Amino acid sequence: MKGETAAQTGPVSRYSRAEKLLGGLDIANTSGLEIGALAQPLLRPPRARIKFVDHADQAALRAKYADDGNVPAEQIVPVDAVWGDSRLAECFPGENFDYVIACHVIEHAPDVIGWLGEIAAVLRPGGKLILAIPDRRYTYDVKRRETSLSDLIDAHLRGARRPTPGQVFDCKAHVVAFDHTKAWSVSASPGTAAPFVSRAYALERARESRDGAYVDCHCSVFTARSLLELLDGLLELGMLPYRLERFFVAPVGSSEMSLVLLREPAGADAAAARAGVRALLDRGVDSEGLALDAGPAGPREVDDPRIAHLQQAVAELQASTSWRITAPLRALARRFRRP
């Protein structure tokens, strides 16, 4: 139908989800770890030599999700180690993995920098960190601001291992009834989406967090561009022991970005690793050339067809050959503008 076609306007990827996340991985001859797989692991034995880690053991997880219609509790995988207050390397003493998978987990990490560092500690040099990450523009986080580099630094310097009261309040107070099925509609209007809970309830949960309760939430939120900018900032500060292998924006009809990072050896050149991230930011595209900023309007954008037309034109320009060719000139101009 005409309306259905219009509703699917957006970036169309030529790769499947498995190709984005697992492409190039020698599953038969490597060993891996998946974090937070619950009932939907990306890989399972005997196809793969893989272990599973979560914030609780299998019995506790099955009890937690017993009444959750979104998670078939009886299918939750066995948990080889519980990762909570102890460090990940302590969960697997003496072990190193060829890859680590975490689908829709990083946004729950109170301290993203520390979380990435603990994973790096169990990855061999050259090992892969495979991440599936929601883009806030297509989720119930649509009204929340993107996580900033300052937010990441603050949580890391505080050594947060549980969601902070501020993270809990920001999430609970601003999540709304909105998801990817609505986001990609031409009539999408995130500005009118209703909140799930009251601010008073959000404050109550924040106080529980302050008093020691673990209140699960999306501690961080990202868009395609903001995620790459955070990686760039962390590389500039020498706080990211990885380099970018590939990154894919959320394709039309989905909320999921795909990111694969390679564990850098000790003493690796962070400037060289940063160049790979900067190349995508300067071109304004992902690893297959899809525009970072294409897609439905975010909460701060105007619901005006004229503005939408201009935004689409900008996205097409940024994905064009001429935009890529002139990227070095724009980068040079930015350097001269810096104080």
Where are the domains positioned within the chain? 2-337
Distance CA(89)–CA(80), nearest Å, equals 13
Inter-residue contact 132 to 258 (CB < 8 Å): yes
Q: What is the pLDDT of residues 71-126, one digit of tens each?
A: 999 999 999 999 988 999 999 999 999 999 999 999 999 999 999 999 999 999 99
Distance CA(72)–CA(322), nearest Å, equals 49
CATH number of 2-337: 3.40.50.150
Inter-residue contact 60 to 73 (CB < 8 Å): no
**What is this structure's pTM?**
0.85
Q: How many residues does the chain have?
A: 339
What are residue 157's phi and psi, to 5 degrees? Answer: -70, -25
- Please give the structure tokens belonging to residue 2: 């005409």
Q: Could you tell me the pLDDT band of residue 8, with boundaries at 50, 70 and 90?
A: low
Inter-residue contact 14 to 31 (CB < 8 Å): no
The confidence score (pLDDT) of residue 4 equals 39
Q: Could you tell me the pLDDT band of residue 266, with boundaries at 50, 70 and 90?
A: confident
Query: End-to-end distance of the chain based on CA atoms, in angstroms?
Result: 54
Enumerate the H helices of the chain as residue ranges: 2-7, 17-22, 58-64, 88-91, 112-120, 149-157, 165-174, 180-183, 199-210, 224-236, 270-283, 305-318, 321-325, 327-337
> Among 38-52, 135-149, 235-249, 292-306, which is the least confidently predicted range?
292-306
Cα within 13 Å of Cα(308), Cβ side: 13
Considering only CA atoms, which of 301, 296, 298, 242 is closest in space to residue 266? 242
Residue type, 179: D
Q: Could you tell me the pLDDT band of residue 308, with boundaries at 50, 70 and 90?
A: very low
User: Per-residue pLDDT averaged across 229-256, rounded?
Assistant: 97
User: Per-residue pLDDT averaged across 28-54, rounded?
Assistant: 97
Q: What is the pLDDT of residues 155-165, one digit of tens each?
A: 999 999 999 99
Q: Could you tell me the pLDDT band of residue 330, with boundaries at 50, 70 and 90?
A: low
- Element at 129 (helix H, strand E): strand 123-134
The confidence score (pLDDT) of residue 188 equals 79
